[in-house]
Chains A and B, each alone.
Chain A
């Protein structure tokens, strides 16, 4: 794989072109047809989640949430590369990766409808809670990865964040610690080109985000974030490297947020239609489907079946989430400490 110490734009790693052609067969990762169909399934599922969630939000059934449409390959490609024991530290736009790694969709709906119980991640899912303040999860992931190293556990840790997070001190301090302590961290920047309205060029004067890794003393890779195979391969290599004690990697997934920042945002105010059209031609789902059709492992009827199936699954999750009883008011006191303090017990009694 072409990697340089200071990756420049021209080094962006790709396997699939936008028409679904493999650029270099030697680069293609080992994936069965079944793997590929599964990855595609997760991508389509994530997009359906966005579509249904968007409508629910408009009906007042969900709070503000951040859609990921356009970034499916970045998340599915990377999360699919994780092994069972690896850990995921998500951001607030990581639904595709979270679902793939076992987060029940109904819990996600519950959380985004304003119920903390939705973030009670099941015990057998190796995933930390969602961080809303931008980039603040990066030091957590670095510390967790460092802890794995101290405990001599062969576990890789993946943390997701966006391009704007790289402007924050948390990014610097988290990656700096990871580099100094050679933590098994794979830091994935989904560079979707915008914060809310502020473009990537206003976050950093660096040519790439990947090149920032050089300053932390480890490898940085810029990858076509709409190319699921390229993202998979780069992440898998980085995780293998991490588990083998060879330290962290920064991966910049060069992608685009096709939709709004959140349900409260109107992107037509700050970006030209032509730009969105350009990126729609590079849609990661279309790209993978073209590849599968050319390879003869995907048909129209497969597509129809999948679309129907994801719609049912998402709607079932919504039904399940909405059938849950409202949380009890006492719940706001019950998880602040292991044992509620005298003051909290007194305040709780004021609920009555």
Chain B
């Protein structure tokens, strides 16, 4: 009980601290922090349209956040969410623009192919970890660069459309439908459903339970008869599939075409969100929406106050810096002792 409380409190305090520092920075830049914060809020939630944009913006982040969350639940660090996301989008782009298929069938096929591609892409670090005892972090990051470059080949050569280095948009018939006429599409719903499924899997099924056990204590899991290696590989593949699914959903939902800089930074954002959300899939979704709020709102803020949008990146980064340090701190024996002393004094009083 107490633990859960701390787990929520630490990120909240971190967010608060990050905002305080953010406000100081805004003030130093000569803007009024309260005006800026208000603009941020209006930008993100000021109208239904803005809410729609915020949710649309959160969609890819939810997918990469869940991707990082799932792998780390099994004790492995998948830093390759970005590459898996991109590969999913690339495969989706091929099918959507070249297969000639249209309608729901094409959409389902694209999503499935994206997930499959992402899963296979993530299987590489998984297999190397199991069979070569290899550092999964370095491998998955290297594959991010390879995936980004491969996407470059696709939009500058293979699927290039016209003079600008970009692909043609996916056909209208494979675009995901918008919700209530807003920017947000069914991709958002899909993201939430995936989050709920993962939540259910982790906490309400036997396999999910075992996967968490492997992630928390591999030795004990082995002694208790779980197939540790199989879980590690599976977690990589599923994690990659989530990202790949996200890539294809994002392409058909929001971006429509591959272009330079597509999905850049999504992978590490995902890791940050998963860590702040403490590997809880639903909390990760909330953090993703929070990140999206900062991003969408900061555009309005820039227009209103002239503070660059990247101040939102600083706030995000500070949240992760504080959260991780805070979570480590509350686990220190000295900290626990201090808390115990304090509560003892309270009781005595």
A and B assemble together? no
A-contacting residues of B (Cβ < 8 Å)? Answer: none
Binding site for B on A (CB under 8 A): none
